[in-house]
């Protein structure tokens, strides 16, 4: 039996990035697409109580294969939960989240619905892959009319095959891929750490012009960025960043020294 691959995202079930991922994955197994029915960028792994869970079924022909999809009135993480609990015909072998409109790097990965969906899949005990394609900020909610997903799709297939064929070491729960806009399928990739630098900076809302929430701008100065980080790989080295993520968010500190300081001994 072919492995079942669950594909999701935070840009919505109609996203061309999602369907580029589906097309890249159909040679590897049976693909089920379950994603929010609308844009949910910035949702993280949220599960707000007001979601109805309404399902809209669709089918698309991809490379001569009928792929079943569902748009769900849900956040990305909840879409994964719906897939696992009621939509998947059997347990998936892999969860792929993406291809996202715009990069997901550094401390901002906790905000990302793309990464949040992959983490939700990992919480179900599944290998998980999050894939994001660098884009101008103005395209982060629309994808841009002329976006080329060729390279991102190639790396989606490459790392999905790896996760299907090999188990990764304990504590590697998600691979977070970020693909430069200039990448080709031959662009090198690099294992990276998640940068501690802030990549997206919040901007005060212009309330005189009706803005009610902060906007954001992207980091453009990289002198303080760690050379082994996801930011450096994507924005400076212009290679594909592959960051291994863990569900374990425990601080990597000396617990003896920490307890001593906290207890005032």
| Tens digits of residue pLDDT in 155-188 | 999 999 999 999 999 999 999 999 999 999 999 9
217 within some domain: no
pLDDT tops 90 at residue 211: no
49-70: per-residue pLDDT in tens?
999 999 999 999 999 999 999 9
Matching residue, tokens 């977070």: 176
203 within some domain: no
219 within some domain: no
pLDDT tops 80 at residue 25: yes
Across residues 96-120, what is the average pLDDT? Answer: 97
Residue closest to 20 by CA, chosen among 30, 7, 10: 7
Would you place residue 265 in the very low, low, confident or very high pLDDT band (cuts 50, 70, 90)?
Answer: low
Please state, in angstroms and as integers, the Cα–Cα distance from residue 12 to each residue in 8, 183, 234, following that order.
8, 24, 25
Q: What is the pTM of this model?
A: 0.96
215 within some domain: no
**The domain spanning residue 113 has which CATH number?**
3.40.1210.10
Distance CA 235, CA 191 (A): 14
| Percent of the chain predicted with pLDDT > 70 | 100
CA angle 244, 177, 159 (to 5 degrees): 85
38 within some domain: yes
73 within some domain: yes
pLDDT confidence of residue 20: 98
Distance CA 204, CA 202 (A): 7
pLDDT tops 70 at residue 189: yes
What does pLDDT average to over the chain? Answer: 96
Contacts of 131 (CB under 8 A, 6+ apart): 21, 96, 97, 98, 99, 100, 114, 152, 155, 156, 159, 177, 179
The domain of 120 spans 4-197+226-263
Which tokens go with 239?
Answer: 């290679």
202 within some domain: no
211 within some domain: no
Domain count along the chain: 1
Which tokens go with 249?
Answer: 């968010």
Would you place residue 233 in the very low, low, confident or very high pLDDT band (cuts 50, 70, 90)?
Answer: very high
- What is residue 130's three-state secondary structure? strand
pLDDT confidence of residue 264: 84
Distance CA 90, CA 110 (A): 29
User: Cα 65 to the chain's mean position, in Å?
Assistant: 25
Range from 2-11, 49-58, 171-180, 214-223 carrying the lowest mean pLDDT? 214-223
pLDDT confidence of residue 214: 87
pLDDT confidence of residue 173: 98
User: Cα 107 to the chain's mean position, in Å?
Assistant: 14
pLDDT confidence of residue 142: 92
- Looking at the DSSP bridge assignments, the partners of residue 66 are 61
């Amino acid at each position: 039996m072919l492995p079942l691959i669950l594909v999701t995202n935070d840009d919505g079930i109609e996203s061309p990035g999602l369907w580029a991922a589906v097309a890249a994955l159909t040679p590897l197994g049976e693909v089920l697409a379950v994603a929010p029915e609308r844009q949910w960028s910035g949702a993280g792994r949220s599960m707000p109580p007001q979601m109805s869970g309404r399902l809209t079924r669709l089918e698309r022909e991809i490379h001569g294969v009928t792929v079943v999809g569902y748009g769900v009135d849900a956040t990305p993480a909840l879409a994964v939960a719906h897939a696992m609990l009621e939509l998947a015909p059997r347990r998936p072998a892999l969860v792929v989240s993406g291809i996202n409109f715009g990069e997901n790097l550094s401390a901002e990965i906790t905000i990302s619905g793309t990464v949040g969906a992959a983490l939700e899949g990992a919480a179900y005990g599944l290998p998980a892959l999050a894939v994001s394609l660098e884009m101008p900020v103005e395209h982060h909610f629309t994808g841009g009319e002329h976006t080329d997903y060729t390279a991102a799709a190639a790396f989606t297939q490459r790392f999905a095959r790896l996760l299907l064929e090999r188990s990764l070491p304990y504590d590697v729960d998600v691979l977070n891929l970020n693909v430069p806009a200039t990448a080709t399928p031959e662009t090198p990739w690099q294992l990276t750490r998640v940068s501690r630098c802030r990549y997206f900076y919040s901007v005060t809302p212009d309330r005189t012009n009706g803005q009610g929430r902060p906007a954001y701008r992207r980091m453009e100065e990289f002198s303080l960025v760690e050379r082994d980080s996801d930011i450096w790989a994507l924005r400076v080295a212009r290679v594909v960043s592959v960051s291994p993520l863990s569900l374990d968010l425990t601080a990597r500190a000396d617990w003896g020294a920490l307890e001593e300081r906290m207890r005032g001994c």
